[in-house]
């Protein structure tokens, strides 16, 4: 198994932060230019007695760059820059919100029954349980680690759904056995268990991207974990070692340091759009995507 070292995490973080700062700087610069070329002359024309529009605007524009007006010009540049920066931040948040809403609408439009019938894919994973080992007929705490791996793989790819209570062949097993192993033997206890393992293995900042729902299929409970595509790489903290995993095909595999860095820079730092016809996985070479786990 290859491990992603913290230096690779810093490489990605620095590149993404640089691109974000450049984008905001452009908004601020455009705002400053607008403040000088538009706000300053228009404001001066409004408060200059005796001038008539549009001649007042032209006159104000001419005098706005008089050396004696430089302090006022600088003030309007600062105001315009602040407005441009605010617009840049708002635009970024709006774009992120629009992508999230679109993803969740598309994901929720698919029924659990249709997902089970279709089978596993790069966006869907089945697991018959998260705690109860049907082969050993006892609790197996390693199963929770597998759940965390799958969620991380979906976060780093294009999102999707993890169905708990369904085996690899699409047979509904239900969650009754898992329920019995928890302190609270119900859906609320199970949801808390899922969110706790996400927080433990992936970090608390990831929790808002994970949504837990429950469904009744063939008289048995199924847990559907809807996972949004993450805006930044998600690493599993395995006793202090950062591991980067990715959903490829119908399985989840770990990338080595080179692959993880390449993928992160293309998928996250470059702001790869989540749109039809181009998904985050397209940023990775076919050799990486189809390499067996």
Give residue-wise pLDDT tens across range 158-181: 899 999 999 999 999 999 999 999
The CA-CA-CA angle for residues 238, 252, 120, to 5°, reads 140
- pLDDT at residue 212, rounded to an integer: 94
- pLDDT at residue 58, rounded to an integer: 63
How confident is the model over 175-232, as pLDDT tens digits?
999 999 999 999 999 999 999 999 999 999 999 999 999 999 889 999 999 999 998 8
The rounded distance, in Å, linking the Cα atoms of 140 and 123 is 25
- Which residues fall within 8 angstroms of residue 194, CB to CB, at 6 or more apart? 130, 147, 164, 210, 212, 223, 225
Q: pTM of the predicted model, to two decimals?
A: 0.65
Handedness of CA 285, 290, 292, 293 (dihedral sign): positive
- pLDDT at residue 282, rounded to an integer: 41
- pLDDT at residue 120, rounded to an integer: 92
The rounded distance, in Å, linking the Cα atoms of 52 and 102 is 49
The dihedrals phi and psi of 170, each to the nearest 5 degrees, come to 85, 10
CB 165 within 8 A of CB 222: yes
Cβ count near 227 (within 10 Å): 29
Complete DSSP assignment for 263-293: HHIIIIITT---BTTB-GGGGS-HHHHTS--
Question: What residue ranges in the chain does DSSP mark as E strands?
Answer: 124-127, 132-133, 138-139, 160-164, 210-217, 220-227, 236-238, 241-243, 245-248, 251-254
H/E stretch holding 103: helix 70-108
CA 94 from centroid of its chain's CA atoms: 14
Domains in the chain (CATH in brackets) are: 6-91 (no CATH), 111-289 (3.30.950.30)
Residues of the chain with pLDDT under 70: 1-21, 40-42, 44-66, 95-109, 269-293
- pLDDT at residue 211, rounded to an integer: 93
Collapsed DSSP state (helix, strand, coil) of residue 191: helix
- pLDDT at residue 30, rounded to an integer: 81
- pLDDT at residue 4, rounded to an integer: 47
- pLDDT at residue 223, rounded to an integer: 95
């Amino acid at each position: 198994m290859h491990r992603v070292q913290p230096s690779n995490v810093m490489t990605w973080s620095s590149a993404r932060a640089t691109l974000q700062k450049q984008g905001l700087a452009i908004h601020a610069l455009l705002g400053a230019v607008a403040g000088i070329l538009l706000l300053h002359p228009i404001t001066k024309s409004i408060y200059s007695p005796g001038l008539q529009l549009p001649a007042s605007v032209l006159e104000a524009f001419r005098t706005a760059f008089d050396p004696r007006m430089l302090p006022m010009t600088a003030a309007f540049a600062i105001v315009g820059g602040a407005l441009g920066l605010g617009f840049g931040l708002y635009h970024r948040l709006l774009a992120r919100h629009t992508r999230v809403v679109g993803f969740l609408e598309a994901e929720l439009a698919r029924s659990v029954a249709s997902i089970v019938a279709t089978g596993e894919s790069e966006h869907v994973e089945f697991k018959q349980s998260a705690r109860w080992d049907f082969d050993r007929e006892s609790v197996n705490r390693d199963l929770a680690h597998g759940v965390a791996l799958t969620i991380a793989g979906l976060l780093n790819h294009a999102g999707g759904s993890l169905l708990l209570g369904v085996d690899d062949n699409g047979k509904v097993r239900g969650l009754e056995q898992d329920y019995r192993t928890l302190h609270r033997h119900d859906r609320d206890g199970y949801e808390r268990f899922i969110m706790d393992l996400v927080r433990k293995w992936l970090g608390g900042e990831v929790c808002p991207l994970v949504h837990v729902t429950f469904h009744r299929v063939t008289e048995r409970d199924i847990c559907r974990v809807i996972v949004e595509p993450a805006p930044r790489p998600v690493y599993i903290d395995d006793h202090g070692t950062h591991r980067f995993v990715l959903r490829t095909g119908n399985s989840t595999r770990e990338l080595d340091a080179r692959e993880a860095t390449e993928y992160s820079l293309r998928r996250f730092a470059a702001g790869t759009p989540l749109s039809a016809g181009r998904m985050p996985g397209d940023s990775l070479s076919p050799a990486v995507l189809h390499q067996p786990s």
